[in-house]
Amino acid sequence: MKDRLDSLVLFLLSLFLRLVLWVFSSVVFPLFYAVPFIEKFNIAGASNYPNKLVEEVVNAADVTDICHAHGYEVQEHVVKTQDNYLLTIHRILNPEFRSSTIDKEKVVYFHHGLLTNSELFLLGETTGKCLPFLLADRGYDVWLGNNRGNKYSRKHINLSSKDVKFWDFSLDEYAIFDIPDTLKYILDTTLAGQLTYIGFSQGSSQALAAFSINPQLRHRVRLFVGLSPPLIPRSLSHPVARFLVRSSAELLYCIFGRRAILPFVVICQKLLGPINYMRVVDRSLIYLFNWKSKRINETQKQVGYTHMFSPSSVKSVVHWFQIINNKRFQMYQEEISRLYASLPSLHGKLHRCAPFPVQVIEKMPMMLMYGTDDILIDMDLTQQKLKGNMGDVTLHPLAGYEHMDPLWADDVVDQVFTPIIERIEELHAFTNSTGKSSPDSKSLSEAATVFPETNATSMYMSCMGKNLDVPTSKLSL
């Protein structure tokens, strides 16, 4: 009886939300046709930029423009997934390094979070606050990935992005197709034996999901770095967010449809202009997640928020709500019956959704960096799930950091980027000296004997001076 009453309440609330969305589509949406007029006459308000770089990045149309503003070149590559989606990925090129002089084993891959794209890692207010550029300056071959459906990957061999079927994907497809196919393409292109994977938020979670179901893929990752990794996010406390999280999948599809979620956000950004849009995003984050963002200055917000949103499927958001509700890192739970969907207790008796078995991941060096004030991260639960690999995991709690701070905090270079670079170079130095890809504690002790310097950069330079070339075995993905 209680389940039926809850369903009735959720249904009535959904009607209210549908009414709001109808008013928006019938009254507000037609105003979007005035966007060209607004942009032409700058009615949205002129923005004051502190310097030319900020202005160029804020007004950049894509990754190419952002990289050019910072003085870097970029290549666009297209990955065809096994289920026929076409994903555009980006390769950062430092004009000071020729491809022939780059160590083929120094490959680093970045993957973005939910509702974002590859631009996310290039949105520092200065070049020195963009980790991909810092690594490119050190001779690393840097790649940036994209999920299906976002700004750079709205293409399929057979389907149009207007088709509902095109948007029928979630974390399952990211883990089964997007991550493995992208990493395989990069490793085949660079001829590298392994790479370093750096993921932010969902970019970390979907990597762990991919590693958990693909043993061969795990052997191709030298180091995994998870920035704000929400394996099983905490339950949201805001009433609106809590209502959505607890709603059934069918109800959420009734409210938001079955294609892209919140597609009008980009148009709202154009209407409001960079400054007003930044303020709206800032207040929205406070309202929904209580993120004060005190460690991110106004200029950084202006740069970051402008490019932060990119479309994804409604189904991918519904999938996260299922994970939060079930407190279980699992695959998407299909509704086996409309009748049982309204009776969760019976549904659970008939169907147990398959997990992403992250507990099977072993001997993979990891760095997990998370804010102590990040309400989405439950690190105790994450450690329980990764207990089989905890001997190879380094935890980096960041005092006072919230979810976005590991990307853009004022002290992010010292607190986040420097430890990552040192760890990457330490592993590369160790690999060049021993031929092993993942050292244990005894091996690290032996490496300290080979390299008397305690500084990881000195270790790296010692190896590069010897120009060692260690063969690596080819493992098919």
Within-domain flag for 2: no
Largest CA distance in the chain: 73
Place of tokens 């001779």: 139
Give me the pLDDT at residue 240, please: 83
Report the C-alpha gap between 425 and 429 in whole angstroms: 6
pLDDT along the chain (477 residues), means of 10: 59 63 55 49 60 96 97 97 98 77 87 98 98 96 98 98 97 98 97 97 98 96 97 86 87 92 83 87 88 94 94 97 94 75 62 92 97 94 94 96 98 98 94 68 39 35 36 38
Give me the pLDDT at residue 7, please: 60
Q: List, by residue number, the catalytic residues.
A: 201, 374, 403
Secondary structure element (H or E) that encloses residue 475, with its range? none
Own/partner pairs, 61-64, CB within 8 angstroms, 24+ separation: 62/119, 62/151, 62/152, 63/90, 63/118, 63/119, 63/122, 63/144, 63/152
What would the DSSP string read from start to end of 216-235?
HHHTTEEEEEEES--SSPPP
Report in angstroms the alpha-carbon separations of 279 from 56, 190, 195.
Answer: 20, 42, 38
Q: Which two tokens stand for residue 270?
A: 């154009």
Give me the pLDDT at residue 142, please: 97
Q: Rounded to a whole number, what is the distance in angstroms from the first to the last CA of the chain? A: 49
Domains: count for the chain: 1
Within-domain flag for 27: no
Within-domain flag for 339: no
Within-domain flag for 217: yes
Within-domain flag for 22: no
Within-domain flag for 177: yes
Report the C-alpha gap between 3 and 244 in whole angstroms: 16
User: Against a cut of 0.75, is the pTM above it?
Assistant: yes
Give me the pLDDT at residue 321, please: 95
Within-domain flag for 12: no
CATH of the domain at 109: 3.40.50.1820
Give me the pLDDT at residue 370, please: 98
Domain with 375 in it: 37-238+256-332+348-466
Give me the pLDDT at residue 33, please: 47
Give me the pLDDT at residue 451, please: 32
Q: Which two tokens stand for residue 279?
A: 């303020």
